[in-house]
């Protein structure tokens, strides 16, 4: 069984946009939940503020052997500049990927040797 939910939200007044994709699936071994979120905020600036910072990357991985759950979170935050009609805009973004796996049996992710072959 597989279920997919797509949400799109935007606010022209606040110059924000958000997209969310949620996927739920279940098979004989596990239940899997994948969530992807993309958020953007646009602001007008007078000029580019130098080279800017590099995007920040956050990674978190958890294993819980008692509840047979695995969780993985990957988040990237940053900003970039673009021009349109002689105006400069700063776009701030945040992309998030969350994966949750609940194993029905006492099996966790396969060993590396199995996935490499």
**Diameter over CA atoms, the chain:** 60
Please, are residues 98 and 34 in contact by the beta-carbon 8 Å criterion?
Answer: yes
**pLDDT: is 64 or 40 the higher one?**
40
- The edge-to-edge listing of strands for the beta sheet with 2-11 is 2-11, 16-26, 30-45, 87-103, 69-84, 56-64
Tell me the pLDDT tens digit for each residue of 28-61: 888 999 999 999 999 999 888 777 788 999 999 9
3-state DSSP call for residue 114? helix
The Cα–Cα gap between 50 and 81 comes to 10
Query: Residue 107: which pLDDT band, with cuts at 50, 70 and 90?
Result: low
- Total of domains in the chain: 1
> Domain range holding 107?
2-116
């Amino acid at each position: 069984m597989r279920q997919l939910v797509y949400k799109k939200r935007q606010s022209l007044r606040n110059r924000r946009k958000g997209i969310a994709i949620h996927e739920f699936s279940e098979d004989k071994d596990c239940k899997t939940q994948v969530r992807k979120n993309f958020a953007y905020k646009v602001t007008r600036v007078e000029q580019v503020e130098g080279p800017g910072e590099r995007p920040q990357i956050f990674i978190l991985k958890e294993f819980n052997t008692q509840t047979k759950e695995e969780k993985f979170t990957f988040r990237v935050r940053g900003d970039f500049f673009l021009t349109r009609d002689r105006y400069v805009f700063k776009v701030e973004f945040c992309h998030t990927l969350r994966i949750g796996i609940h194993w029905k049996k006492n099996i966790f992710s396969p060993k590396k040797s199995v996935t490499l072959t």
